[in-house]
Amino acid sequence: MTRRVAITGCPVAHSRSPVIHRHWLALHGIDGTYDRVEVKPEDAPAFYRDIAAHGLSGCNVTVPNKEAAAAACDELDDAARVMGAVNTISLDADGRVLGSNTDGLGFLGNLDQEVPGWDGEVRHAVVLGAGGAARAVIWALLSRGVKKVSVVNRTKSKAEDLCARFGADSIACDWDDLGEILGETDLLVNTTSLGMAGQPALDLSLSRLPETAIVNDIVYVPLETPLLADARARGLRAVDGLGMLLHQAVPGFERWFGVRPRVTDELRAALLADLGAAS
Ligand code: NAP
């Protein structure tokens, strides 16, 4: 029987997830579909309680429904519980609704692929931003054993709230102290929307970063942000955000369709072509 899966949220027209999952469905010759289904926030609690009633074996969840989806699940994985947000839903054999959050795994999968062994050398990571994506990145870094995560955000109170959620290994810092903090940074991650197409660039000098530092911008439109260009100009290792988007899709596909897919150059090129066509 054809297994139907979808990206759900409101709006969903912009989502690139169908490109990724349809690529893998075709590659592996799987009898499945992956579509876009708009779910209005007021319909979200009932929808996620019973996705089978909508003909779905599983789904992804995007804004603004991630918290409502978490509340509707029978069981959450560790990441979804800590983040209070679900982006991937599957059903177990008894029809129970299982919620997970794979954004953090996507972040880790990207770094693992681009800088193998990074976690052996990163003791101190600095995360810029304190929104939904920062939450996933902080969870991921701590889950990998990074000793200290400094969180720097325009609105410091949001960074403080996040750090209270994650415990003593995460510390909210002032933006004004960033210059000094960068001197002791092994990994810098931008999770703000600065540098994204239509947004101002991130105005930050990287001159204090050690030569061994890694810079990861999770913004992926454009692929080469001014931050990454600066990092490369300084000879630092620079990692773009497209791989995070690709890798976050892996666990869901495996759960729904029983095959662990790979993030290949071919898939990356397909997504880049689609993003080019969409912009
Ligand atoms: P969000 O929840 O809206 O958070 C936005 C963050 O950016 C906040 O920390 C905000 O600070 C900061 N910010 C916005 N404008 C700013 C400015 N002018 N100056 C300083 N800080 C500013 O968004 P999100 O969901 O976390 O997403 C953030 C970015 O990550 C987006 O570009 C998104 O495309 C990207 N992303 C990528 C992936 C991937 O797979 N690669 C996944 C998720 C997100 P305040 O708290 O002070 O407002």
Query: Residue 173 belongs to a domain with what CATH number?
Result: 3.40.50.720
Report the separation in Å between the CA atom of 190 and the middle of ligand 1, taken as the mean of its atom positions. Answer: 8
- The protein residue whose alpha carbon is closest to atom 19 in ligand 1 is 154
Q: Are residues 204 and 219 in the same domain?
A: yes
Task: Say what the pLDDT of residue 277 is.
Answer: 72
Q: Are residues 93 and 139 in the same domain?
A: no
Q: Are residues 217 and 261 in the same domain?
A: no
Q: Are residues 50 and 128 in the same domain?
A: no
Q: Could you tell me the mean pLDDT of each successive run of 10 residues in the chain, 279 residues long? A: 96 95 98 98 98 98 97 97 96 96 98 97 98 96 97 97 93 95 98 94 95 97 95 97 97 98 97 83
Helix (H) or strand (E) holding 224: none
Q: Which of 66, 147, 148, 156 is catalytic?
A: 66
Ligand 1 atom nearest to CA at 243: 41
Single-letter amino acid, residue 187 = L
Task: Say what the pLDDT of residue 209 is.
Answer: 98
Task: Say what the pLDDT of residue 278 is.
Answer: 63
Q: Are residues 67 and 125 in the same domain?
A: no
Report the separation in Å between the CA atom of 159 and the middle of ligand 1, taken as the mean of its atom positions. Answer: 12
Q: Measuring from each residue's beta carbon to the nearest atom of ligand 1, which residues come in under 6 Å?
A: 103, 106, 129-134, 153-155, 158, 191-194, 196, 218-220, 241, 244-245, 248
What's the structural domain count of the chain?
2
CATH number at residue 8: 3.40.50.10860
Each residue's pLDDT tens digit, 36-83: 999 999 999 999 999 999 999 999 999 999 999 999 999 999 999 999
Report the separation in Å between the CA atom of 94 and the middle of ligand 1, taken as the mean of its atom positions. Answer: 38
Task: Say what the pLDDT of residue 97 is.
Answer: 98
Active site residue 156: no
Q: Are residues 262 and 228 in the same domain?
A: no
Task: Say what the pLDDT of residue 222 is.
Answer: 93
Measured CA distances, 57 to 6, 23, 32, 90, 258 (Å): 9, 19, 10, 7, 12
In this prediction the pTM is: 0.96
Q: Are residues 209 and 264 in the same domain?
A: no
Task: Say what the pLDDT of residue 92 is.
Answer: 96
Q: Are residues 44 and 81 in the same domain?
A: yes
CA–CA distance, 178 with 156 (Å, rounded to integer): 13
Q: Are residues 42 and 161 in the same domain?
A: no
Report the separation in Å between the CA atom of 149 and the middle of ligand 1, taken as the mean of its atom positions. Answer: 17
Q: Are residues 114 and 190 in the same domain?
A: yes
User: 90 forms bridges with which residues in the sheet?
Assistant: 58, 98
Domain that holds residue 79: 3-101+243-278
For residues 74-87, one letter each, b for 16 or more C-beta atoms within 10 angstroms of the residue's C-beta and e for the rest, the string is: eebbebbbbbebbb
Q: Are residues 56 and 89 in the same domain?
A: yes
Q: Are residues 111 and 236 in the same domain?
A: yes
